[in-house]
Amino acid sequence: MEYIFEGIVRAIELLLTGNEETYSAVFVTLKASTMSMIGSLALGIPCGFLLGYFDFPGKKQVRALVDTLLALPTVVVGLFVYAFVSYRGPLGEMQLLFTIPGIALAQTILVLPIVISLTATAVESLDKRLRSTLMALGARGKQIAIASILEARYAVMIAAVTAYGRAVSEVGISMMIGGNIKWHTRTITTAIALETGKGEFSMGIALGIVLLTLAFTVNALLTILKKRST
């Protein structure tokens, strides 16, 4: 137990003194996760609105597929993205492998079903009279879509926070696409795995504290947003 206590003390020291290696992993994680969240929201909110608002042939099958992809393993996403962005892949010329944008791209694919599914559920839960009211006021097309999203804004924000939490805590994609390169693509989760394997418990605990803080922050935001949405 003594080495655990010493590790915690050393971890707090690393955080308080602004250890560059520790905070490098933190900044890479935040940058990649933020980029992936922006990408997933830009694609997921419109797709989720269309899925939740309109009825079309095959809608149940599409919804079932999206819901199934919620449990998509991170290593599977990493495997397929690696095949596309590797130097022999069709997107190899973009040089995304072992870069933060490459990690963000793969994380976007991972969390996109979360945004689509929760946005669709939010739109489906809107008052059925909203559409007729908006049309009576002269709203059409894009105006109806924007008004509906604004009405379901708290539920959409829940989708965004949930997606961000999934992106921050994943490890498979960061390891496969980022390569865990020190000072460049090393994230919190990959650094924890590496440092613990090396026996550097203090660094692992320091990064674990940061990751737990992020997780608690995300959960607190989710709790607040759920209260407001109800």
Give the tens place of pLDDT for each residue, 1-59: 666 677 777 777 877 888 898 889 999 999 999 999 999 999 999 999 999 888 889 99
CA distance 112 to 101: 16
Which pLDDT band holds residue 143 (cuts at 50, 70, 90)? confident
The CATH architecture annotation of domain 2-229 reads Orthogonal Bundle (1.10)
Q: Residue 95, Cβ neighbours under 10 Å: how many?
A: 12
- Burial (CB < 10 A; 0-12, 13-18, 19+), residue 87, is exposed
Q: Encoding tokens for residue 175?
A: 């390891």
State the average pLDDT over residues 163-178: 91
Mean pLDDT of 124-133: 77
Residue 111 predicted with pLDDT over 90: yes
What contacts 35, CB < 8 A, 6 or more positions away?
A: 100, 101, 104, 108
Say what the alpha-carbon torsion angle 43, 48, 49, 54 is, to the nearest 10 degrees. Answer: 130
140/98: higher pLDDT = 98
pLDDT on residue 16:
82
Tell me what percent of the residues of the chain surpass a pLDDT of 90.
40
CA atoms within 13 A on the CB side of 24: 13
According to DSSP, residue 86 is labeled S
Q: Which pTM was predicted?
A: 0.88
Over range 126-143, report the average pLDDT.
74
Determine what percent of the chain is predicted with pLDDT higher than 70: 97
Task: Break the chain into its structural domains and give their ranges.
Answer: 2-229
